[in-house]
Amino acid sequence: MAAVALAGRTGEVLAGAGDVRELLTRTERDRADALRSAADRDDFVAAHALVRLCAARLLRRPARSLTLVQSCDRCDRPHGRPHLAEAPGIGVSLTHTRGWVAAAAAHGPVGVDLEADDGHGPMNWNVAERACGPAELAGLRAHPDPRRAFLRQWVRKEALVKIGAAALDDLGRLDLPLHGTGTSCWRDWRLTDWSAPGVVGCAAAREPVALRTLSAGL
């Protein structure tokens, strides 16, 4: 079975997945409760539920039987790269941003990222110069909509960061093919791009990713 990825609006996940807080561990519920904004809490809960739904589909077992565990190699807080206690060999990843969430589960490493895109704002060339390789930058400079094109590169890079292919402060090392130029691979990683009005995303994995959006329900 291909890797499973699901993406949608936070409200769709919360409306379609039942009592999602019940799926979360006490540690995750405490992390959610510590967030000041109700919208951020909803995004967090929806993403942490969605990753279980992805893993449940991949493993063909109930979502409520899966425990998400996170630990940090820099501090003792329960955050960082997630894994499943019951299936530590499978890869899981999640992302949340302003009313949108996505998650993925794969037989090997997987990373997923989303960024909200309000369609406005100037292109930040300083950030692009730090985050992109020479070929990417040349492609962006020639692009009719460099801001949007950079955002698409950014989510590809963050998906690869979550896999461990690069560190956040070393993104320029990821000189990726420009989105839309026909190549959706970097080394032996497949990049599955996705967008909807107001958001862009990407999932990275070695295996093909079957990405489903939630507008048709869970």
Binding residues for ligand COA (CB under 6 A): 44, 70, 72, 74-75, 79-82, 93-97, 113, 158, 161-162, 168
Q: Residue 156 and residue 113: Cα distance in Å, rounded?
A: 7
Question: Which is nearer to ligand COA, 117 or 158 (by Cβ)?
Answer: 158
In angstroms, give the least distance from the CB of 182 to ligand COA: 26
In angstroms, give the least distance from the CB of 59 to ligand COA: 18
Q: Which amino acid is at 117?
A: D
In angstroms, give the least distance from the CB of 119 to ligand COA: 20
**H helix or E strand, kind and range, residue 11:** helix 10-16
Question: Which is nearer to ligand COA, 71 or 183 (by Cβ)?
Answer: 71
Instruction: Please give the torsion angle defined by the CA atoms of residues 76, 80, 86 and 90, in that order, rounded to the nearest 10 degrees.
Output: -150
Question: Which is nearer to ligand COA, 79 or 183 (by Cβ)?
Answer: 79
Distance of CA 18 to the CA centre of its chain: 22
In angstroms, give the least distance from the CB of 78 to ligand COA: 8
Question: Which is nearer to ligand COA, 17 or 94 (by Cβ)?
Answer: 94
- Is 98 exposed, middle or buried, given 0-12, 13-18 or 19+ CB atoms closer than 10 A? middle
Q: How many CA atoms lie within 13 A of 64 on its CB side?
A: 6
